[in-house]
Structure 1
């Protein structure tokens, strides 16, 4: 920006970086010395989100508005195509530069490429910055110069890499003399599709930058030492639950990495597993960047002919948490009550749908996309393809999780299933009853109904899956 342009404001285009600390785009905007106008654009990519993530995004936006106002700033809200909205704001305010945090999935990359080219043609400086990831996907290469397709060597290649030190929030965000007009967040009605489920899920969330930081601090202090084993037990609070905050950028992965490294140096043994989980997220984005088909097509193209079923009545029972398989049903109900699902539960329900029910992983992936408040495009896609066998670093085709033996192993005291399954209990727990208040009325479910018999016998479902996999192998 030239000296003559220093009086022109700068736009900070807020996206999945709903925080003030360790935010490279915001810091770059403030470093210009100009006034900074934060703006959030509700474009087609926001409007196209599923019910739960769209609602949760709205809560995060409101929390950021509150933090900005405490600093004498504002968050300007506009609805419509991103380039159109930014051009309008530049024309209204005289802004000559726009800063934003980089995205990596193909839909956002295409939008951002169009935005940068359009701004450049207008003589406006558009700059993207890192921050959603620890490591830019194109900076990690194998010894032969390609990208990594297996997690373990990826982890080994980055675990000793020096990550950037998280940066504090700006001491001040210079305000313009006059703020442009803004939409009201309430008029966007981002939570409309949640219906009555919003009231059930809301108490389980930790919204905003302060909530995310508190969640990280409690995890490092109380739980990270035992994380290596506790993370597999769905009936206890053994995980960080930071996926909710990372997906909206309410906390940076660098902040989490630094906390994990500090815990590791303090001798807390579970910290290394926590760091590996952070890098698993990085690996998902590494793969999406290099092979975007991971998001909606079989990553292993030789799986394209596998005889998965499209949506079907058994898949609907799966969605309703009424399969008669207690681990599957408890995990699905956890999602409707809390907005998230324990990671072991995610593996079990995905394996059950794709293997015991022989249903295409896209059916489950799209349902998670609608229901999870911590939905992340890369992690969700990789998790589903890992479980189905069609993805990178996938479980062997012959690995078919038995939900009953998994429940016996990881829910020995039955606390998890009691917490979320009401049928058959004399005094159901509150979350078990909340499930019926959260799900669509059209499902017609009641805690007074008997618990269903299994829709598919586990041994028969396993045999059917293995027979199909063997037929695929023989054909290949």
Structure 2
């Protein structure tokens, strides 16, 4: 291979310049380095990025393109099936090699294997690199050599292994040149809303791009991580990192986040952060667990891991599904969560569990309905996290919630949003209700409702289901599945 022929770096969910092993490998070769992003909606099928994710992708690519240009390089954009597009760009760039970061979705693995075989035949060096996870899924196994299905022992195994440190910044290279290859314009992909502008809340909440991701990480570790163990379950407080879209799109590597957190923990001046950092690291390993399970059980985005759930007696009701989707269930904490999702493309993790439980257990609607809705609405729509989260709450996945665990939306609201601040923000029609009634407005006295300007059934819906009998119905249905198992 002639080094000066250069390399194409095929970017996917690694939209960053720092701690990117594929890019580092290409730069080390010394020739032209051409960064390529392919919008391949065909290979992913119905799991192609949803509306909110496409919004994020547009802005993250825009920021990355500017960062690459500052260093003399170019970001090439192409749309189409990756199995055709990537070889075409490699030919046009006259590159001798191509590099990418490994991915773990079923279709991603299939495409990458096919391309490696093709490049091998064509005499093009194709290398794949670890950069999306801390631990490759095949490196963490039980003593019997099997994949883990329970999180706690998986967590213990990962902590024993230890995560590799991030790479030095760009291997010391501040500038490079790229081959002259034609590129689509980002606007031509139409990733942003083309009709009604539903992205106002996203613009107010997020600033995609690697530089902003770094600032967000540093701000979290400087402040919120100290109380993270207590506040991460409180949607009324800014207690979480909100780094999930940064990790999903790869604006930050998990290695960089992991070791930055460890460094903060080691800082003698910030010993109060120890507990928070440990809880945060545990959440990072939960993300690893979801990718581990997805890799070993690739059917789970569409089918339950526990096969007996294929015969679960789900109820199909378009009206209740619509009420849940748009935050009109009559349960304020559920509605606040669903409206937060619509407004900013993200939902607090505690509320994801509450809204998920309500869908599958109070309404007995299929978990796949929730999974698909979240997929289109989340800026951090990650196949592993989204799938395992929904299978967890439905009781049909790995390390799943017990079938008898049915979240009570009233007590959950009172416990984790005691003053109703979260509900007031996203369900403003209830903003003037006292905290005593804000999570159960149907029990509020008439004068309290009148004073708050609330008319049940008009300004705010009555509950679409009574939780107590709905819980009993769910327990009976899940109990039958348990016996069948």
The alignment's TM-score, normalised by the length of structure 2, stands at 0.90
Q: Is 1:322 aligned to residue 328 of structure 2?
A: yes
Aligned with 1:375 (options 371, 381, 385): 381
Aligned to 1:175: 177
Per the alignment, residue 264 of structure 1 pairs with 265
Q: Could you tell me how far apart the structure 1 residues matched to 2:195 and 2:281 are?
A: 33
Q: Is the 8 A contact 2:358 2:407 kept in 1?
A: yes
String of CA shifts for 1:412-467, please: whole Å, max 9, x gaps: 1110000000224469xxxxxxxxxxxxxxxxxxx995100000011121111011
- Give the corresponding residue for 1:443: none
Report if aligned partners of 1:18, 1:61 keep a CA contact under 8 Å in 2: yes
Cα distance per residue 1:91-119 (max 9 Å; x no partner) = 22211110011001101111111111122
Larger deviation, residues 13-22 vs 260-269: 260-269
Task: Name the structure 1 match of 2:250.
Answer: 249
What is the aligned partner in structure 2 of residue 359 from structure 1? 365
Q: CA shift at 1:121, angstroms?
A: 1.8
SS of alignment partner, residue 161 of structure 2 = coil
CA contact (8 A) 2:44 2:107 kept: no
Q: How large is the RMSD of aligned CA atoms in angstroms?
A: 1.8
1:6 pairs with one of 3, 11, 25: 3
Q: Which is further off, 398-407 or 188-197?
A: 188-197
Contact 2:9–2:100 (CA under 8 A) maintained in structure 1:
yes
Deviation digits for residues 95-154 of structure 1 (CA, Å, limit 9, x no counterpart): 111001100110111111111112222211111101000000000111111111100000
Residues 232, 239 of structure 2: 8 Å contact kept: yes
> Structure 1 pair 449/422, CA: closer, same or farther in 2 (3 Å)?
farther
Q: Is 1:36–1:173's contact at 8 Å kept on the other side of the alignment?
A: no
2:147 aligned residue: 147
Contact 1:51 1:193 in 2 (8 A): no
The residue aligned with 1:460 is: 469
Task: Give structure 1 regions of 4+ aligned residues with deviation exceeding 6 angstroms.
Answer: none
Q: Say which SS state the counterpart of residue 304 (structure 1) adopts.
A: helix
- Asked if residue 41 in structure 1 is aligned to residue 50 in structure 2, the reply is no
Over 3 Å counting, the alpha-carbon distance change for 1:256 and 1:40 in structure 2 is: same
In the aligned structure 1, how far is the partner of 2:368 from the partner of 2:195?
Answer: 22
Counterpart among 4, 16, 23 of residue 20 in structure 2? 23
Contact 1:46 1:54 in 2 (8 A): no
* Counterparts of 1:458 and 1:182, CA distance in 2: 54
- 1:172 to partner: Cα distance: 2.9
* 1:173 to partner: Cα distance: 4.2
1:288 Cα shift? Answer: 0.7
Q: Distance in 2 between matches of 1:335 and 1:262?
A: 33
Consecutive unaligned residues of structure 1, counting only runs of 5 or more, are: 428-446
Instruction: Identify the residue that residue 442 of structure 1 maps to in structure 2.
Output: none
Superposition pairs of residues 186-335 of structure 1, within 5 angstroms: 186-192=187-193, 195-266=196-267, 267=271, 268=273, 269-310=275-316, 312-335=318-341
> Shift of residue 304 of structure 1?
1.2
How far apart are 1:72 and its partner, in Å? 1.3
Structure 2: which 5+ residue stretches go unaligned? 434-455
CA separation of 1:245/1:46 partners in 2, compared to 1, >3 Å: closer, same or farther?
farther
Q: Residue 390 of structure 2 is aligned with which of 372, 380, 384?
A: 384
Counterpart in the other structure of 1:113: 113
Change (3 A) 1:155 1:475: closer
Report what 1:130 is aligned to.
Answer: 130
In 2: Cα distance, 1:261 partner to 1:157 partner: 18
Match of 1:90 in 2: 90
Q: Distance in 2 between matches of 1:297 and 1:448?
A: 37
The DSSP-based 3-state class of the residue aligned with 1:160 is helix
Q: Distance in 2 between matches of 1:144 and 1:79?
A: 44
Deviations 1:221-270 (A, max 9, x none): 10111111100100110000000100000000001110221233332121
SS in 2 for 1:77: strand
- Cα displacement (A) at 1:200: 2.6
In structure 1, C-alpha distance between the alignment counterparts of 2:467 and 2:430, rounded to whole Å: 22
Deviation at 1:188, TM superposition (A): 0.6
SS at match of 2:36: strand
Deviation of the 1:83 alpha carbon: 2.4
Judge conservation of contact 1:206–1:215 (CA < 8 Å) in 2.
no
Moved more, 465-474 or 151-160: 465-474
Between the aligned partners of 2:265 and 2:82, the Cα distance in structure 1 is 42
- CA deviation after TM superposition for structure 1 residue 311, in Å: 5.1
When residues 64 and 385 of structure 1 are mapped into structure 2, their CA distance, relative to the original with a 3 A threshold, is: same
